[in-house]
Amino acid sequence: MFLASDEEIRSYIDLNTETVQIIEDAFTSLVTKNVEMPPIMRVDIPAHNGEVDVKTAYVKGLDYFAIKVSSGFFDNYKLGLPSGNGLMMLLNSQTGQPESLLLDNGYLTDIRTAAAGAVVAKHFAKEDARIAGVIGTGSQARYQIKAIAQVRKIERVLVYGRKEENIQRYIDDMEVDLGIKVEAVRAEEAVRGSDILVTTTPSTSPVIKADWLHSGLHITAMGSDAESKQELESEILEQVDVLACDRKEQSQVLGELRHATSQQEMLDKAVEIGEVTSGDKQGRKTAEQITLCDLTGTGVQDTAIAIYAYELLQEEKAGLVVKQ
Amino acid sequence: MFLASDEEIRSYIDLNTETVQIIEDAFTSLVTKNVEMPPIMRVDIPAHNGEVDVKTAYVKGLDYFAIKVSSGFFDNYKLGLPSGNGLMMLLNSQTGQPESLLLDNGYLTDIRTAAAGAVVAKHFAKEDARIAGVIGTGSQARYQIKAIAQVRKIERVLVYGRKEENIQRYIDDMEVDLGIKVEAVRAEEAVRGSDILVTTTPSTSPVIKADWLHSGLHITAMGSDAESKQELESEILEQVDVLACDRKEQSQVLGELRHATSQQEMLDKAVEIGEVTSGDKQGRKTAEQITLCDLTGTGVQDTAIAIYAYELLQEEKAGLVVKQ
């Protein structure tokens, strides 16, 4: 059994063109290859404001597949702990034997989620997008903007959050990390003023109003990944010119598509990212279109990033091998 | 993160009165406590005759809950490997943080599955049961008989299997382990000649015929745990006086109840083990009744055995503590 610690994984794996490409290929495989991806397993622990998801996907022909456990316990800040956590394991596709445990404390989930944001921006945001807006100031609010900066020349960031101190910390950190201007704005301004907007909150009622949309805007909605969550007014699904999601069967249960007034119509309208990355369908067609992509997070991303991390760490011999 | 290896776990945890009691209490908690037990997650890899199950259950008030991965890859024998494998992890119920990894290669699943068989025999088999029959010669065919011997004074075992060499190995091993006579018989004789019968095969068509049932018999059907599996003719469900299962919502999808001709009627007839262990309902009422219990395996058993193993191993300081 190959074990890798959080530190080891963080020293070798990052958000970069390589990990973005790996996640793009994973989306493509979802529509071009034989993939078994069962529904997400979920445990809710309301007493501690906690939730645990288990995701998996087997891509036919690959030597391994991942089972990923990720948790979000939103009272952890009271204990001085991060809300997110988790680990990934790889099983051998031929024998079922556990091959590797990646004790990443949720880091690889952050990377593969951010990488999905980059893939989406690449195919759906307009070519000359320069201003990125972000709703939320947490971990993914940072990663998603860094991801967009991988594929578009971002010159300014507009951020909206609820807590003053979190906003200021976000601005300080991101101005250093990206070397560009980051401004605190109201939610409406973040939408009206940006070319690409990312929503990253666990909100249970819409934060973004349909009235605020404008020509050329792309929205990536990655906050909602559970029945109770919703970041966008449902009219937005109808108003956008291009509606996309990572996986229809997840989005209609856990994502923004769940809240569509006419769900079947929206499912018919929607394309999956993999249909676009594979070249089957087109993402954005003109600079004027309004586009939206809803991300719920897929097991095939976990399998892709876990195999990449395992193989890289093996090469680097950075893992701690525990003989069983 | 606390890690324990297969060897460490095997040196401290066994099938005994303590583990049987722990599993009995787990079944009771399923009906008396607030338990969140989502549907089993399953990945099928038909190319390698493999299947992976993920199970979990959170019992309100417990400090930890388990997520258990178990695999069965039935071509592994060609590679000289066991078919079953897996591991358990415990998460902290308050923070979601991974607390412990029990790298048991499926051993704790064997123990908690056998312990369930003991609990069932205790409540459903007649008091003076002396002859146990078993269908199958694999790992659970051994554990289930040892489990029954924990709660009934078994004097003779009748075994039916398909492969001569496996039957002989079973007899040799079990006569040494239990110190009683083990005889190879036909399936029909195993049923007709036993007081308690356990079926342990992954059969996809019925092995046990309704015609073979007799007064006083108890059957534990633990082989079927997937849509395609079935060990008992469906008429048996109707014929028995007492019909039980570990969890109705699992048995009706994955177990023998799936194949009931009139499923709603059988669901109404069935009791859950926890209803009996809690004292709410009665198991066997008379020595003459025919009783049947269908086991599909529940996440609450995994949580119970994993917490027990973790706490015991911590006490014994036998675990290898890896600082993260």
DSSP letters for B265-312: HHHHH-EEHHHHHTTSS-S--STT--EEEE----HHHHHHHHHHHHHH
What pLDDT, on a 0 to 100 scale, did the predictor assign at position B142?
A: 97
Residue B10 C-alpha, separation from nearest chain A C-alpha, in angstroms: 13
Q: Flag whether pLDDT at B287 surpasses 70.
A: yes
**Measured between alpha carbons, how far is residue B156 from residues A249, A260, B59, B134, B173 in Å?**
53, 64, 39, 11, 14
What pLDDT, on a 0 to 100 scale, did the predictor assign at position B319?
A: 47
The residue assigned the tokens 């989502």 is B38
Query: Across residues A46-65, what is the average pLDDT?
Result: 95
**Chain A residue whose CA is closest to B4:** A324
Residue A36 C-alpha, separation from nearest chain B C-alpha, in angstroms: 7
Residues recorded for chain B:
324
Contact B107/A at CB under 8 A = no
Q: How confident is the model at residue A203 (pLDDT cuts 50, 70, 90)?
A: confident
User: Which tokens hold the place of B52?
Assistant: 């992976």
User: Which tokens hold the place of B302?
Assistant: 């995994």
What pLDDT, on a 0 to 100 scale, did the predictor assign at position A124?
A: 98
What pLDDT, on a 0 to 100 scale, did the predictor assign at position B323?
A: 42
Query: Across residues A265-293, what is the average pLDDT?
Result: 97
As to burial, measured by CB atoms within 10 angstroms (0-12 exposed, 13-18 middle, 19+ buried), residue B104 is buried
**Chain B residue whose CA is closest to A72:** B96
Q: Which of A102-111, B142-151, B185-194, B198-207 has the lowest mean pLDDT?
A: B198-207
Q: Flag whether pLDDT at A204 surpasses 90.
A: no
Task: Tell me if A70 sits within 8 A of A47, measured CB to CB.
Answer: no
Query: Across residues B263-269, what is the average pLDDT?
Result: 94
* Beta-carbon separation of A67 and B71 below 8 A: no
Query: Mapping DSSP to helix (H, G, I), strand (E, B) and coil, where does residue A23 land?
Result: helix
| B184 bridge partner residues | B159
* Beta-carbon separation of A96 and B39 below 8 A: no
Choose the catalytic residue: A55, A60, A68, A122: A68
What pLDDT, on a 0 to 100 scale, did the predictor assign at position B316?
A: 82
Kindly list the structural domains of chain B, giving each domain's residue range(s) and its CATH number in brackets, ordered by start. Answer: 2-108+300-321 (3.30.1780.10), 125-297 (3.40.50.720)
What pLDDT, on a 0 to 100 scale, did the predictor assign at position B317?
A: 65
Q: Which residue among B65, B73, B96 sits closest to A73, beta carbon to beta carbon?
A: B96
A6, A9, A33, A43: best to mutate for the B interface, most B CBs within 10 A: A43
ipTM above 0.85, yes or no: yes
Q: What are phi and psi of B152, to 5 degrees?
A: -135, 150
Q: How confident is the model at residue B272 (pLDDT cuts 50, 70, 90)?
A: very high
Nearest residue to A200 via CA among A232, A155, A171: A232
Q: How confident is the model at residue B203 (pLDDT cuts 50, 70, 90)?
A: confident
Q: Flag whether pLDDT at B324 surpasses 60.
A: no
Of B226 and A200, more confident: A200
DSSP code at position A299: H
* Beta-carbon separation of B91 and A41 below 8 A: no
Q: How far apart are CA A37 and CA B25, in angstroms?
A: 34
Contacts of A199 (CB under 8 A, 6+ apart): A134, A135, A136, A207, A208, A219, A220, A221, A222, A223, A231, A232
Condensed to tens digits (0 to 9), the pLDDT of residues B49-107 reads 999 999 999 999 999 999 999 999 989 989 999 888 999 999 999 999 999 999 999 99
Tell me how many degrees the CA angle B264-A252-A83 measures, rounded to the nearest 5: 100
Task: Tell me if A242 sits within 8 A of A265, measured CB to CB.
Answer: no
* Beta-carbon separation of B69 and A50 below 8 A: no
Q: Flag whether pLDDT at A31 surpasses 60.
A: yes
Which chain B positions have a beta carbon within 8 Å of A36's beta carbon? 43-45
Q: Which residue among A39, A87, A96 sits closest to B72, beta carbon to beta carbon?
A: A96
Of A257 and B192, more confident: B192
Residue B102 C-alpha, separation from nearest chain A C-alpha, in angstroms: 12
Residue A289 C-alpha, separation from nearest chain B C-alpha, in angstroms: 39
Nearest residue to B238 via CA among B206, B258, B260: B260
Measured in whole angstroms, how far is the alpha carbon of residue A110 from the centre of its chain?
7
User: Residues of A numbered 26-65 whose beta carbons fall under 8 angstroms of chain B's beta carbons: which are they?
Assistant: 36, 38-39, 41-45, 47-48, 50-52, 54, 56, 58, 60, 65
Condensed to tens digits (0 to 9), the pLDDT of residues A80-119 reads 998 889 999 999 999 999 999 999 999 999 999 999 999 9
Q: Flag whether pLDDT at B322 surpasses 80.
A: no
Q: Flag whether pLDDT at B318 surpasses 60.
A: no
Which chain B positions have a beta carbon within 8 Å of A227's beta carbon? none
What pLDDT, on a 0 to 100 scale, did the predictor assign at position A16?
A: 97
Q: Which residues of B200-229 are buried (b: 16+ CB within 10 A; e: fewer)?
A: bbbbeebbbeeebbeebbbbbbbbbbbeeb
**Chain A residue whose CA is closest to B37:** A43
| B196 bridge partner residues | B132, B218
User: Residues of B numbered 140-199 whose beta carbons fall under 8 angstroms of chain A's beta carbons: which are they?
Assistant: none
**Chain B residue whose CA is closest to A59:** B45
**Measured between alpha carbons, how far is residue A162 from residues A14, A265, B51 in Å?**
29, 34, 46
* Beta-carbon separation of A95 and B86 below 8 A: no
Contacts of B297 (CB under 8 A, 6+ apart): B53, B55, B109, B113, B116, B222, B225, B246, B250
Report which residue type is found at A224: S
What pLDDT, on a 0 to 100 scale, did the predictor assign at position A224?
A: 79
CB contacts < 8 A, A to B, total 133
Q: Which of A249-253, A298-302, B192-196 has the lowest mean pLDDT?
A: A249-253
Average pLDDT, chain A: 94
Q: Which residue among A39, A85, A95 sits closest to B97, beta carbon to beta carbon?
A: A85
What pLDDT, on a 0 to 100 scale, did the predictor assign at position B293?
A: 97
Q: How far apart are CA A27 and CA A278, in angstroms?
A: 8
Residue A164 C-alpha, separation from nearest chain B C-alpha, in angstroms: 26
Q: Which residue among A54, A73, A320 sits closest to B95, beta carbon to beta carbon?
A: A73
Q: Flag whether pLDDT at A318 surpasses 60.
A: no
CA-based diameter of chain A, in Å?
60
**Chain A residue whose CA is closest to B1:** A103
What pLDDT, on a 0 to 100 scale, did the predictor assign at position A283?
A: 96
Task: Tell me if B274 sits within 8 A of B30, measured CB to CB.
Answer: yes
Q: Flag whether pLDDT at B124 surpasses 90.
A: yes
What pLDDT, on a 0 to 100 scale, did the predictor assign at position B2?
A: 92
Residue B38 C-alpha, separation from nearest chain A C-alpha, in angstroms: 7
* Beta-carbon separation of A96 and B50 below 8 A: yes
Contacts of A78 (CB under 8 A, 6+ apart): none
